[in-house]
Amino acid sequence: MPKKRIYYTEFRRSLDSGSVKPVYFFTGAETFLKEEGIQTIIDKVLPPAERSMNFESLYAGTDVSGQEVKERAMTLPFIAKRRVILVRQAEKWRAGDLNVLDTYLKDPAPTTVLIISSQEERLKQTNWKNFANLTYHVECYPLFDNQVPAWVERRVGEHGKRIAREAVQLLIERVGQTLADIDNEINKLVNYIGQKPMIEAADIRAAAGHIRQNTMHELNLALGRADGSAAVRLVKHVLDEGIRPIQMLGAIAWHFRNLHSIRKRLDGGEDLDKIVGNIRNPQARREMQLQATTYSKQAFAKIFQELLKLDVHLKTGKTHWEMFLEMTILKICRQYTYK
């Protein structure tokens, strides 16, 4: 019997080692990982030339019943070693569908790879748990923070490129940790660098990135000046432009880490003009000088605490995130009073 619970990272290791299971069952909240996993299986099992006759994409419920899936799965492939059947929205199946499929799962056809995907995050009913135990059950949940860099490196590697460690961190800071957004940015960066073998931090800065720089830049300026009213107003504009809250958080955190780094060097006795001397634009240099001295060392500690709270609030899917976001912005700007 397959393992009862496999997380996505373990699934990828298993698949990369060459082992393909007869039945996969994908559940969990991270839709992007589900789709990536499904496509990886299809690519591994079926060359493009064999897919027209040996690949079926179906939807459970009104589209196809459990009995129909069983019958299709027993069909032999056409001039190929295996065929692939993908069934989405499995949560629409009823108990009868599962009972029929249980008999197939206990003795699956060796020439078919059956992929079943559910939009439900967790399967609580007993019949679904029994069903999952008969499959290679892959639970797709958001990666932990320390897993995202390795995922970025692997994703870039699939394009035949490499990415510098500094560039990985900068990419995550600017785009956020939503995998779909990172993947979109990776695609743009690969096209941007052309024949160049490695993505570097300078490439990310030059390519402008996924974030709409003008409005996001204005928001960071308002935060750096501790202008709470302007910052809250700009938050709405940034959201209207389609930037996700987690992306915004990443950009804000990146900006304050830069300011904090300058402030630490300033408190250590370095000359401010020397610290920001590498900024060629005089106006931008004066702006950075102003912002770096707006907040104290103690204020930065409180700012990062507030950003961490916001990060947890957004990632756990709690309600009223818009209000929480605006309150975080105001709390950051109020740290100016603690100089």
- Tell the burial category of 119 from Cβ atoms under 10 Å away from its Cβ (0-12, 13-18, 19+): middle
- For 170, the 3-state DSSP assignment is helix
So what's the pLDDT on residue 200?
92
For residue 266, tell me if it sits in a domain.
yes
Distance CA 244, CA 224 (A): 21
pLDDT of residue 304: 92
Q: Are residues 10 and 134 in the same domain?
A: yes
Is the pTM higher than 0.75? The answer reads no
Task: Assign residue 219 the CATH number of its domain.
Answer: 1.20.272.10
Distance CA 309, CA 324 (A): 9
Parts of the chain with a pLDDT under 50? 1-2, 209-212, 338-339
180 in a structural domain: no
Whether 319 maps to a domain, the answer reads yes
Same domain, 223 and 280: yes
For residues 258 and 333, state if they share a domain: yes
Domain CATH code at residue 45: 3.40.50.300
The number of folded domains in the chain is: 3
Radius of gyration for the chain, computed over Cα atoms and rounded to the nearest angstrom:
25
Residue 68 falls inside a structural domain: yes
**Which pLDDT value is given to residue 69?**
94
Domain shared by 202 and 223, yes or no: no
Distance of CA 208 to the CA centre of its chain: 19
Predicted pLDDT at 6? 81
AA letter at 313: H
> Are residues 133 and 53 part of one domain?
yes
pLDDT at 336: 64
Beta bridge partners of 88: 59
For 288-337, write each residue's pLDDT tens digit: 778 888 888 888 889 999 999 998 888 887 777 888 888 999 998 887 65
Whether residue 197 is found in the same domain as residue 265: no
Burial class (CB in 10 A: 0-12, 13-18, 19+), 136: buried
pLDDT of 138 reads 93
- pLDDT score recorded for residue 210: 41
Domain with 153, as residue range(s), is: 146-170+185-206
179 found inside a domain: no
